Every structure is written in structure tokens, then in C-alpha cells.
Amino acid sequence: DGGITQSPKYLFRKEGQNVTLSCEQNLNHDAMYWYRQDPGQGLRLIYYSQIVNDFQKGDIAEGYSVSREKKESFPLTVTSAQKNPTAFYLCASKETGVSAGELFFGEGSRLTVL
């Protein structure tokens, strides 16, 4: 079945540690996205990528890093520079071009900093 897989689903981290969240898709989509959601809040864009080996900062990129070495993978690293990393992280993908439709989302990764 085609879809987006995020792992881990739950993650605990001590302050000062970097952590990497995995996002893999087998939908053959060119574009991939990372969003952060805080309780009772909307989704805020962290990074997005329209094509392999290229990505753009979103509205809250500080303290995060990404890579896009393969079309199907877009991992997000939450660095120790991110001051308040506890949140629900959502990865999404979509087709590009004039016929492009909606974003498809993974199940999310819930990060808690202890």
C-alpha cells in the first residue's frame, strides 16, 4: 500500500541532545514537507523540498535541519539549538506541477523533551 511512514511514533529526548525523525514515502511524490503542531495550535511549516538535493526553509526553521538525498526520504533533525522542541511533528508529501493535488500526511511523531 502506498503511503507515508514516520518513525518513531513517540520519542523522548534529554535536553541538549539532537534527534532525527524519519519520513519515508512510496507515493513517488516529488515534494515533501515537515510541519510542527503544538497543542491547540495549527500547523507551522519547518522545511519543505520540491526535488531531490534541494529544500527551502519554512516559517520556523531555526533549530532544525533536513536533507533530501533520495526522492522517497526526508529526515528531520531537531538540534539542541531548538529551544522548545516538545511537539507533534507531521511529515507530508504531494505531487508537483499544474495537476498537483493535496498533501498526504504521515501518522506523526510525538517528541517530548525531558
Partner 1 sequence: ELKVEQNPLFLSMQEGKNYTIYCNYSTTSDRLYWYRQDPGKSLESLFVLLSNGAVKQEGRLMASLDTKARLSTLHITAAVHDLSATYFCAGRYRDDKIIFGKGTRLHILP
Enumerate binding residues for partner 1 (CB under 8 A).
31, 33, 35, 40-45, 48, 50, 56, 58-59, 90, 92, 94, 96, 100-108
Nearer to partner 1, 16 or 42 (CB): 42
CB of 102 to partner 1, least distance (A): 4
Nearer to partner 1, 21 or 92 (CB): 92
Q: Are strands 109-113 and 10-13 parallel, antiparallel or unpaired?
A: parallel
- Do 74 and 90 form a contact (C-beta atoms < 8 A)? no
Nearer to partner 1, 5 or 17 (CB): 5
CB of 70 to partner 1, least distance (A): 19
SS (H, E, C) 1-46: CCCEEEECCEEEECCCCCEEEEEEECCCCCEEEEEEECCCCCEEEE
